[in-house]
Chain A
Amino acid sequence: MKLLIRSAKIIDNESPFNNKVMDILVEDGNIKEIAPQIKTKKVDREITLDNLHVSQGWFDSSVNFGEPGFEDRETLENGLRTAGKSGFTSIALNSGNDPVTDNKGAVSFLKNKAQGQPVALYPIGALTRKSEGTEMAELFDMQQAGAVAFGDYQRAVSNPNMLKLALQYTQNFDGLVLSFPQENKIAGNGQVNEHEMSTLLGLKGIPALAEELQITRDLYILEYTGGKLHIPTISTAKAVDIIRDAKEKGLDVTCGVAIHNLFFTDEILKEFDTNAKVLPPLRTKADVKALLQGIKDGTIDMVTTDHSPMDVEHKKVEFDNALYGTLGLESALGALLKITSLKTAVKMLTAGKSRFNIPENVIEEGAPANLTFFDPEVTYTFEKEHIWSTSRNSLFLGQELKGKVYGILSDSTFLASED
């Protein structure tokens, strides 16, 4: 199949064509030619779009669907389609399904289900059996089946010895360990960030201390053990400082931040909107500022949507009874471009690949065509009609966003957002 992309501005730091407007000819899934004007008559499809920009396909390091176990929230098929329409060509799927992805069979189930989809699914295996924190899961076996990292979704490794052993054991096969940053005893039954807003609303607070204490502990363990540690979602100013120091020390640690933790503060909780109930919680202006600085100086390695489809039965309830999570895939670009530059946004949406061992495809002749197409300028209000997920729990509803995805090209398939 031949595909010709007309007049696309290439956004790819690694590419010799970075920031240039080029035609791109793709043949049988590979980039055949990049040139200012390609004269080819016989192509199967020609793509001409307004203000077209193209980058390497994006990767999201923390995504949840519902399958298996919560298919009414989201199926793998529609979830992956949603990811693709939102600009992602690959995603890492968290282990928090029912049953938990804690063995080879569960990993294989996910891989098989995702076969033939334009978006590549990379399962994250649970670190401990049933994510209960007591016995280590068969990590190597899961890696053999396709798991790219190991972590218990939104559950901290409370037992320090478990983290120590996991960081040691995974060195035998270069595994990546995820540790959710929350000291559970300090967090208690907290629902939201402990600060002025939680005080005003009488909601139980999760102190920033809970996150910072856990990260500090994890890094002490990492310093002792060696190994590879990734903190999936950080949210506080001090967490950025702690990780910055650790990186300066040379520890092999990376971290991500959820886009909603960059876009919103806990101010939005004022009306007890359950879509704003996320974990880690939305923090303060000062935290957001420090997180953005962390992105700028390289302390934060990647952004994630931490996409969590949730059925209405668990959101249209009293705040304390609501489950955590917001949708994030559909609004990812539009939200990011409101708070960072185009260059930073694209970097943050692609930088996680190397850490998770996912192929990076620089935009150059001869490379596989794994591309995301978008217009970074168009502004719009994010409404229900922009949600492709089965669930509707987006915190971004009603927000002014900037930048829309046209679609992706992956595995020889062009998936248009408007299809």
Chain B
Amino acid sequence: MSELSVDHLLGIKYLKKEDIELIFQTADHFKEVINRPIKKVPSLRDVTIANLFFENSTRTRLSFELAEKRLSADVVNFSAASSSVKKGETLIDTVNNILSMKVDMVVMRHPNPGAGIFLSKHVNASIINAGDGAHEHPTQALLDSYSIREKLGEVAGKKVVIVGDILHSRVALSNIFALKLQGAEVKVCGPTTLIPKYITSLGVEVETNLRKALEWCDVANMLRVQHERMDISYFPSTREYVQLFGVNKAILDSLDKEIVVMHPGPINRGVEITSDVADSDQAIILDQVQNGVAVRMAVIYLLASKIKQL
């Protein structure tokens, strides 16, 4: 396979296994590039990319922007706080205005599930979903799988537990799709109030006990509690959350094996994981961040090559 089966990256559930393999092979190449003294390639010199962030983001936006710049694309940034969205402009109008300035590709983060899919049907550009509400965050899942592959050799057959707020998490959903597609086993663990009632229909198991989950897994992906997405209180206090679902070094050391700890960031130190876990050798959190740039370069490159002769 030399090109992606899709024209947009809207979610992992629209990808084939071969797409993921192609993205990873391409990312391997770019990871080598970004570790060179000159971290830049001229591949996307004729491509203009707009990063549209209708929701706050620091690392994802930075990661995309770096990926784009290292591919030599022209980049424009847009965030909702400084936009006409607040003046009542519709999403389609906002994007079409930007596209009429000859933009080829849109990277969009948006608070509403399905916003990327909606946009792909109404505007003429390649869309990369950088997170749409509680739906998907495909590049995060790709970089997570890529990091597991890098650390453990392959994803197939590995046991991964996703811990935390599954209900509000696009990272959880995309990770479930990506891991299942590659043949990993997946469990989710967290307060039952934050686990969708029908989550097992996605082929994952629910484990309510953190220790059991950790004993079972090869990798624990610790999600952030997304207070900003909660309309009501799903658990009584952070203190109690930590007691039930916080991972500290003592728990890790008491396990029979050395598991890999991941976190999509930003970390609430002392909540999902303690500082000594975050900074330990078992944590690959900063590898994830670095891989994020390489994986995003791969995705952008592969999608751009479908619209331009590179």
Determine which of B92, B113, B117, B232 lies in contact with A320 in the assembled complex, contact meaning CB atoms within 8 Å. B113
Interface residue tally for chain B (C-beta within 8 Å): 28
| Given A198-B198, A199-B202, also A318-B110 (CB < 8 A) | yes
Contact A272 B201 (CB under 8 A): no
The answer to whether the Cβ of B235 comes within 8 Å of any Cβ in the partner chain is no
> Which of B41-49, B129-137, B140-148, B208-216 contacts the other chain?
B129-137
Contact A316 B117 (CB under 8 A): no
Contact A319 B113 (CB under 8 A): yes
The answer to whether the Cβ of B91 comes within 8 Å of any Cβ in the partner chain is yes
Contact with B along A191-206 (1 / 0, CB 8 A): 0001110111111110
Residues in B with CB closer than 8 Å to A316 are 90, 92, 122
Contact residues on A (Cβ < 8 Å of other chain), bracket: 20 to 34
How far is the CB of A35 from the nearest CB of chain B, in Å?
57
Residues in A with CB closer than 8 Å to B136 are 202
The answer to whether the Cβ of B238 comes within 8 Å of any Cβ in the partner chain is no
Q: Looking across the interface, which residue of chain B has its beta carbon closest to that of A320?
A: B112
For the complex, what is the distance from the CA of A320 to the CA of B110, rounded to whole Å?
A: 11
Residues in A with CB closer than 8 Å to B118 are 272, 317-319
How far is the CB of B17 from the nearest CB of chain A, in Å?
18
Most chain B beta-carbon contacts within 10 A, residue among A200, A202, A271: A202
Determine which of B13, B122, B231 lies in contact with A189 in the assembled complex, contact meaning CB atoms within 8 Å. B231
| Given A188-B232, A201-B135, A202-B133, also A194-B198 (CB < 8 A) | yes
Which residues A243-274 have CB closer than 8 A to chain B?
A: 271-272
Which residues A167-216 have CB closer than 8 A to chain B?
A: 188-189, 194-196, 198-205, 207
The answer to whether the Cβ of A144 comes within 8 Å of any Cβ in the partner chain is no
Residues in B with CB closer than 8 Å to A381 are none
The answer to whether the Cβ of A321 comes within 8 Å of any Cβ in the partner chain is yes
For the complex, what is the distance from the CA of A204 to the CA of B232, rounded to whole Å?
A: 13
Most chain B beta-carbon contacts within 10 A, residue among A189, A318, A319: A318
Q: Looking across the interface, which residue of chain A has its beta carbon closest to that of B173?
A: A202
Contact B113 A317 (CB under 8 A): no
| Given A188-B232, A320-B112, A320-B113, also A199-B199 (CB < 8 A) | yes
Residues in B with CB closer than 8 Å to A205 are 196-197
How far is the CB of B281 from the nearest CB of chain A, in Å?
34
Contact A202 B201 (CB under 8 A): no
Contact B196 A201 (CB under 8 A): no
For the complex, what is the distance from the CA of A319 to the CA of B116, rounded to whole Å?
A: 11
Contact A201 B113 (CB under 8 A): yes
The answer to whether the Cβ of B114 comes within 8 Å of any Cβ in the partner chain is yes
For the complex, what is the distance from the CA of A189 to the CA of B112, rounded to whole Å?
A: 13
| Given A202-B170, A203-B113, A272-B114, also A317-B90 (CB < 8 A) | yes
Residues in A with CB closer than 8 Å to B90 are 313, 316-317
How far is the CB of B231 from the nearest CB of chain A, in Å?
6
Contact with A along B70-97 (1 / 0, CB 8 A): 0000000000000000000011100000
Residues in B with CB closer than 8 Å to A320 are 111-113, 133
Residues in B with CB closer than 8 Å to A189 are 231
How far is the CB of B52 from the nearest CB of chain A, in Å?
13
Residues in A with CB closer than 8 Å to B91 are 317-318
Q: Looking across the interface, which residue of chain A has its beta carbon closest to that of B113?
A: A202
Residues in B with CB closer than 8 Å to A272 are 113-114, 117-118
| Given A188-B232, A316-B122, A317-B91, also A199-B196 (CB < 8 A) | yes
For the complex, what is the distance from the CA of A223 to the CA of B173, rounded to whole Å?
A: 45
For the complex, what is the distance from the CA of A200 to the CA of B12, rounded to whole Å?
A: 11
For the complex, what is the distance from the CA of A205 to the CA of B132, rounded to whole Å?
A: 16
Residues in A with CB closer than 8 Å to B117 are 271-272
The answer to whether the Cβ of B194 comes within 8 Å of any Cβ in the partner chain is no
For the complex, what is the distance from the CA of A271 to the CA of B198, rounded to whole Å?
A: 19
The answer to whether the Cβ of B242 comes within 8 Å of any Cβ in the partner chain is no
How far is the CB of A366 from the nearest CB of chain B, in Å?
57
For the complex, what is the distance from the CA of A399 to the CA of B115, rounded to whole Å?
A: 25
For the complex, what is the distance from the CA of A200 to the CA of B180, rounded to whole Å?
A: 14
| Given A207-B197, A316-B92, A318-B114, also A202-B135 (CB < 8 A) | yes
Q: Looking across the interface, which residue of chain B has its beta carbon closest to that of A188?
A: B231
How far is the CB of A286 from the nearest CB of chain B, in Å?
13
Most chain A beta-carbon contacts within 10 A, residue among B113, B132, B173: B113
Most chain A beta-carbon contacts within 10 A, residue among B112, B122, B202: B112
Which residues B182-197 have CB closer than 8 A to chain A?
A: 196-197
Which residues B10-43 have CB closer than 8 A to chain A?
A: 13
Residues in B with CB closer than 8 Å to A199 are 196-199, 201-202
Given A317-B118, A318-B114, A320-B111, 13 more pairs with CB closer than 8 A: A188-B231, A188-B232, A194-B197, A194-B198, A199-B199, A199-B201, A200-B13, A201-B114, A202-B113, A202-B135, A202-B170, A203-B133, A316-B122
A binding-site residues for B, Cβ under 8 Å: 188-189, 194-196, 198-205, 207, 271-272, 313, 316-321
User: Across chains A and B, which 9 residue pairs bring their CB atoms closest together, nearest first?
Assistant: A202-B135, A272-B114, A202-B134, A318-B112, A196-B201, A320-B112, A202-B113, A199-B198, A319-B114
Return 19 A-B CB contacts under 8 Å, by A number: A188-B231, A194-B196, A194-B198, A196-B201, A198-B198, A199-B198, A199-B201, A202-B134, A202-B136, A202-B170, A203-B134, A203-B135, A204-B134, A205-B196, A205-B197, A317-B90, A318-B110, A318-B114, A319-B118
